[in-house]
Chain A
Amino acid sequence: MEVKEVKKENKSNKGLVLLLIVVIIVLVAVFVIPNKEGKIKISAKTSLDRFVEKSDLETVNFTYNVIAKKCKDMNDCDLKSNNIDDFEYVVSCKGTLTAGIDFKDVKIDVNSKEKKLIVTLPEATIKEINVNSTNFLNGKDVPASELPNARKLCEDTTKEKSNKDGKLLPAAKEQASVVLESFYEQWVKAFDNDYTVEIK
């Protein structure tokens, strides 16, 4: 009778051991082995969302000052002329514009073989243009009543020049790239020091 009870106890202990082994295997499978790649990817995206939310990344202003030229005769005017006297007046326009990327469209990938965190940025766009002040460069005699027209000329010229400016949008994208590179280079060290960051 006693022998039977000891056997029963042994059996239940063996069952418990087996159960614990199964639990350990499951825990290892869920928490240890897996998917470092997936973990980094999710965590990198979550951190980015927090970063964007806290640092107003999307509202960066650029100083954008241009020279605008008012033609004497709209039908016979060479805007490319560099002679200030060919124009009714020439005005220096001080402005700012907002340009940047949409951080919702940032893609994050992980290449675990090459140990790389790859961040792909969307193209930048111009979001807002503002002209803050105007200064006549050759117009001491320009009447004050011309100021609103000069301002409008500045707005149109800033818009036109910024749209044609081949350096502006790449700079806006690079601006985002610089800060994200700094961010992730620091960030990735907490996960794995061997990882490198590539911003595209």
Chain B
Amino acid sequence: MEKKVVIVLLLICLCLTGCGTNKNENLEQNVKKIELTGNLVTHKAYFHNVIEYDKKKGSGALGLLEKDRKLFAEYTGTIKLGIDLTKVKIDVSGNQINVTVPKAMIIGEPNVDKDDFKEENFIESKDGFIKNKLSIEDSSQAFNEAQENMKEAAANNNELLSIAQKRAKVILEENIRQFSNLSEDKYTINWEYQY
């Protein structure tokens, strides 16, 4: 009876110290627990920009006396970048983990400060005898242009996209480390980046 008790206790000891398990066998199962849903925001870029807005003269009779003008304003905004987690591929083969990190992208719409487009914030070129003033529609148009410019600038900014992708990679790497429950020398991660 006591021998049985000793054996049971020894088994419990082994379980607690982890000597009796082969963690490598669980690598694939553990890594599968990583949730790959939704977007992972990894960078929020801040822009302080200058917009050049063309204010065309009016089309009516008075418009003939107006001047085409250029207006300039500083504006600020933020834009989020990251990756689509559903496009991340993780395959485990033995102790090799192959991970594909998708290209970083803009997430959501840019957040441009509308107050920057108030009339008083525009620097104006000389006006004609008949005033060609900035209207509310012009402010709104300039705001839309600024948003589009910012979106385009971020989408074409390889440095920003690279930062966002690199951070996503590090987050995924840390996730794999946490979920695998193994030290890094027990597995190898092979990274593939989509551009």
Contact = CB atoms under 8 A, between A and B. Distances in A.
A7 interface: no
Interface in B24-69: 34-35, 40-50, 52
13 contacts: A24-B13, A47-B177, A62-B46, A63-B49, A65-B50, A82-B123, A167-B113, A174-B44, A178-B44, A182-B40, A182-B82, A183-B170, A186-B40
B43 A167 contact: no
B70 to A, nearest CB: 7
Contacts of B174: 47, 50-51, 183, 186-187
Contacts, number: 150
A173 to B, nearest CB: 10
* Closest CB pairs A-B (n = 7): A190-B178, A171-B46, A20-B9, A178-B44, A55-B170, A27-B16, A13-B2
B16 A24 contact: yes
Interface in B92-111: none
B178 to A, nearest CB: 3
A17 B9 contact: yes
Interface of B: 2-3, 5-6, 9-10, 12-13, 16-17, 34-35, 40-50, 52, 70, 72, 74, 76, 78, 80, 82, 113, 120-126, 153, 159, 163, 166-167, 170-171, 173-175, 177-179
Interface of A: 10, 13-14, 16-17, 20-21, 23-24, 27-28, 31-32, 47, 50-51, 54-57, 60-67, 82-85, 90, 92, 137-138, 161-162, 165, 167-168, 171-172, 174-175, 178-179, 182-183, 186-187, 189-191
Nearest to B47: A63
A60 B163 contact: yes
A174 B10 CA distance: 52
B6 to A, nearest CB: 6
A73 to B, nearest CB: 19
Contact of A32 (B16, B125, B166): B16
B55 to A, nearest CB: 13
Contact of A17 (B6, B113, B121): B6
B153 A63 contact: yes
